[in-house]
Structure 1
């Protein structure tokens, strides 16, 4: 398929996903020794299509399995490859390998050049996040703020900031564990970190599920990116860019 696509298109392009094969022996740790003929065949397939591997700047192994040192295996089988003219066009592109809580595959994020995030400043209003109800300290915080007449909105904003910081910390921790020695201790630390990351992601999904106002999806359908896009789309739709009067646009 790769060879056919390369022969039918002269445009600069890239492709990414699970290729289920490695190129070099340093892309696998643990388990059986990589089969050299398979690596060479995959390498020649990419070269024949003039596709070049884009090495990640953050993270390395994209798949891992096993809970003990004897059974633990990690590989870099998910990647982005690109035509040389595409790489010349997007010279500042970068790849990040992001550990996931519910899959043995990590996500691979391709960042393009020219990205610009525009954040609007808007006045927050209070809305209780029901994902709070599962936290042990929720009752005490609500009671204390109620008695002190404090700002609950500020507390929720602070909690969101802490949650995102904890998510980044856990992903970085998992990346370091994958690059460290394969021991029973590290395997157990990885298992516990994945449990903690899942808990953080469950709360994040509930947060965006509530804001998306999507009632037709079943509980448990894990698609936070969809909820996020839905919530932000509704926000943009409700935004008033300006008012047209006799004097012009204000």
Structure 2
């Protein structure tokens, strides 16, 4: 039947004979079929504290109660074809640079401009999409009305000309949608060569659950809440390899590397030199215009076509 066992978190054993020197073993398991697992890819299994029984209860969650994350921002290349978009972005970027101040390095300015541009474009794109949908609906309504008139009484040359003009506008909108989905198809969410089969999904989901951290035992007790888990992990690594002035529990020995293996002060200074605006422009110019977006959601063409560094 190709059943798979769901990875269990919590107690190691699920049964005991409740003796002073108990015998313990795993008697309780949850097996699922590939079809069920494909329907609930975020399912998880947790062992609950045993009370009044020799079996530990198992809690199976389908994962549907997980919080919904906000959609990521992606710069859409068809925005470049919107009339006035270039001038709008140039004005916005100049304003962001002026607000940030001139006495900052190029990388800090770039990060500030990217962050504010992303916030602006996210709202602007949502409003633009609504206007586009309303405009398309209005065009379709006019075309349907003209077609009804043509079926009933016919249309004169002016009426047919209007009909073709509206149709051309719809075709232009379809080209924009085609460009949108072409760019989305380049953002690959699965590795090349992996077939999207039930077996592949089952293995991927099993690995995801195996690598997940549902709970941690800390100095203050057991932590299960996701936000508390993130805070504990962050503080742990901050203390493990923190910056100068922070408390560390781990440090490299002073004699770990020989003198010939260490970089000189001049080399260290060269590494710490801030990027210049010219270097950033050269990197952006060398990127492919239709490449997938980076972590900030922007594509290279969004920077090169804006006319700003």
Q: Which has the higher contact order (CA 8 A, sep 6+)?
A: 2
| Normalised-by-shorter TM-score class | 0.3 to 0.5
Superposition TM-score, scaled by structure 1 size? 0.36
